[in-house]
Structure 1
Amino acid sequence: MAAKMYNSFVSVVCVLQHPWELRLLPEYLRNVHQALSEAFSDYEVILVDNQSHHGQQTAEVVAEAPDEVRHNVYLLTLSRPTNRNHAILAGLDRSNGDYTVIFEFDFYHKPELILQLFEASRSEGTDIVYLRARARQAGLYFRPLYRIFYAILRHYSSLEVDGLAHDTRIISRRALNSLLRLRENLRYMKAIYSIVGYRTSWIETEEPLHGRDAEPFGERFRTSLIAITSFTTFLRSLLLWIFLGSLVFLFGVTANALKVKFTGVDLFGNAGEPFSGWTFLVVLIAIFFATTCLNLYIMSIYLSNIYNEIKQRPLYIIESIRRF
């Protein structure tokens, strides 16, 4: 039994993404109900079914649960499977609690984590508390890709994204209201949490990251592209370096062509025989290459500015207002 009953309304959001989660759903609901009913005055569980071909089965599983368990359950069945981040947003949109907990199936056997997240938020005065893994469970070939991805996020954005953060977290009402203001079609939730700001902390867990959520490589690759293109300046910086490289190439090729024309020896000391018009053609190609790279870089700046304006992200978020 919980040592203390909190007079708070807590919403729990859960996304059903895989068939094995449907098999665990009855136990998930029982565990969550027991933990929440003992600790909070009111609660709701929002299930987001992101596997449309199992929608009827999910409804039947919920209907078979005891009355006291299913009484607070709301089932949202999406018309077609979508990105996991979008499915989470569907649940957050319908959350009514003072606090909202995104609770993954990976922790169905540890419902006490919900109370731990809540107490950490209250005691530390933080608006967002997430579970942090000690390690990432990934194949040997994927590990360097993850390191490169998070290195890009760190160096080409101002975001503070934890590469070992689980989706499971608690969000206060005011932080959730600010989060829902960012209505982006291309969503990477970990980056959006960082944009919203507010005081954030974490609780370490033994559960490895992505231990059971085996997303296909294509889905993870698309999510990475969304994060890199939407929340970093990496591609624009890359075009800048390509342009600078083209200038070095232009000067090098021009110097080499002129040296061969007048001395018959290139920059590396190799003998060469200049043909009529060869120097002009090489220099012209190098100039066009550098000009093309410059145009691409300029266009990337304009497109980046247009892209940021279209998103209409809030220029600032007020955490609190005090009058003295």
Structure 2
Amino acid sequence: MYNSFITVVCVLEHTHELRLLPDYLQNTFAVVRQHFTDFEFIVVNNNPEASADDAIEQLPDDLKHNVYLLNLSRATNHNHAVLAGLDRSNGDYTVIFEFDFYQQPELILQLFEHSRNEGADIVYMRARQRQAGAHFRPFYSLFYFILRRYSALEVDEMAHNTRVISRRALNSLLRLRENLRYMKAIYSIVGYKTRYLETDEPLHGREQESFSERFRTSLIAITSFTTFLRSLLLWIFLFSLVFLIGVIGNALKVKFTGVDLFGSAGEPYPGWTFLVILIAIFFATTCLNLYIMSIYLSNIYNEIKQRPLYILESIKRF
């Protein structure tokens, strides 16, 4: 038995999860009671229309006395609901344990032991495959390409939410009080030694989450954690310069030779060359102004978020 205090956090969002809650708690309770000296369960009810009280009341006393039920006043983003549980965690280690694994409670022990043996502060479950419809796959591929290309984040696209987090890593994570949260990116920002365990359980989106909700989550991640949009504006500006040079060259060539850059005959009208050049210059200037404004807005946005400039992993004396 390990002389450690472990907290198990789960989020209720769907009615079928409410039906599974008694089995979920009993299965995990059998493992943590046997291997840890202290433990607690934090159940976050993110579905105000459903009550979990009756499901918990029917449990044995030695189990339900270790359960803390957090009823949110209104349904919120899944990442925010997870944060509500993490805020109230008291354990030396905290395990975010999804309902997908409720029949494999031994994974809690495996995650903990892997963390201790590898000296890792975060250990997560990694799927071998993603279960998604054909219309979602290009969306996921594009999203993770942008994250890899336009940020310094090390985000594993096959990572489950299920993971164990040490106390010091959790304390650092809770310092990042982002209003727009994408937890996989925040785990990467926090750093610390991270490892994973592979599982055959496929990675899939939550059933009640629509495409529009997933799209909004992706926009949050892209705008909060990458420089993609600023880079996009830079490319638009560079394109506008090429366009400016091409339009001016074409207009001047038509004016003086009567033939455009493509070899087609053209008749220059009075004032036409000046008007085309003027429009092209204004287009390029507008794109330049947008790019400059995006740099300032990006800097202001980064300052407002007030992320810590660094996180100390440990201090040693010799």
Q: Identity of counterpart residues, as a percentage?
A: 75
Aligned length: 318
Is the CA contact (8 Å cut-off) linking 1:26 and 1:61 kept in structure 2?
A: yes
Tell me the equivalent position of 1:42: 38
Tell me the equivalent position of 1:290: 284
After superposition, where does 1:303-314 map in structure 2 within 5 Å? 303-314=297-308
Pair 1:164-2:158 in alignment: yes
Tell me the equivalent position of 1:139: 133
* Amino acid in structure 2 at the alignment position of 1:97: G
Pair 1:267-2:264 in alignment: no
Pair 1:207-2:201 in alignment: yes
2:295 to 298, 301, 320: 301
Deviation at 1:23?
A: 0.9
* Amino acid in structure 2 at the alignment position of 1:204: E
Is the CA contact (8 Å cut-off) linking 2:5 and 2:36 kept in structure 1?
A: yes
1:193 to 187, 197, 201: 187
Pair 1:218-2:217 in alignment: no
Q: Give the TM-score normalised by the residue count of structure 2.
A: 0.99
RMSD: 0.8
C-alpha separation in 1, matches of 2:91 and 2:284: 57
C-alpha separation in 2, matches of 1:81 and 1:173: 28
Pair 1:87-2:81 in alignment: yes
* Amino acid in structure 1 at the alignment position of 2:2: Y
1:24 to 13, 20, 23: 20
Deviation at 1:213?
A: 4.2
C-alpha separation in 1, matches of 2:304 and 2:55: 42
C-alpha separation in 1, matches of 2:177 and 2:207: 26
Is the CA contact (8 Å cut-off) linking 1:46 and 1:75 kept in structure 2?
A: yes
Q: Point out where structure 1 has 5 or more consecutive residues left out of the alignment.
A: none
C-alpha separation in 1, matches of 2:24 and 2:91: 20
C-alpha separation in 2, matches of 1:218 and 1:35: 38
Is the CA contact (8 Å cut-off) linking 1:128 and 1:170 kept in structure 2?
A: yes
Q: Point out where structure 2 has 5 or more consecutive residues left out of the alignment.
A: none
2:7 to 11, 17, 20: 11
Tell me the equivalent position of 1:250: 244
C-alpha separation in 2, matches of 1:310 and 1:110: 42
Tell me the equivalent position of 1:114: 108
Deviation at 1:230?
A: 0.2
C-alpha separation in 2, matches of 1:296 and 1:181: 33
Is the CA contact (8 Å cut-off) linking 1:258 and 1:279 kept in structure 2?
A: yes
* Amino acid in structure 1 at the alignment position of 2:265: A
Is the CA contact (8 Å cut-off) linking 2:122 and 2:193 kept in structure 1?
A: yes
* Amino acid in structure 2 at the alignment position of 1:43: F
C-alpha separation in 1, matches of 2:197 and 2:27: 20
C-alpha separation in 1, matches of 2:205 and 2:239: 42
List per-residue Cα deviations over 1:242-294 (Å, max 9, x = no partner).
00000000000010011011111000000111111111111111111100000
C-alpha separation in 2, matches of 1:16 and 1:218: 21
Deviation at 1:71?
A: 1.3
C-alpha separation in 2, matches of 1:210 and 1:18: 15
**Counterpart of 2:259 in 1: which secondary structure?**
coil
Deviation at 1:53?
A: 0.9
List per-residue Cα deviations over 1:83-127 (Å, max 9, x = no partner).
000000000000000000000001010000000000000000000
List per-residue Cα deviations over 1:7-62 (Å, max 9, x = no partner).
100000100111110111110011011111011011000000001111xx211111
C-alpha separation in 1, matches of 2:180 and 2:85: 17
- Pick closer, same or farther for the CA change 1:181–1:212 going to 2, 3 Å: closer
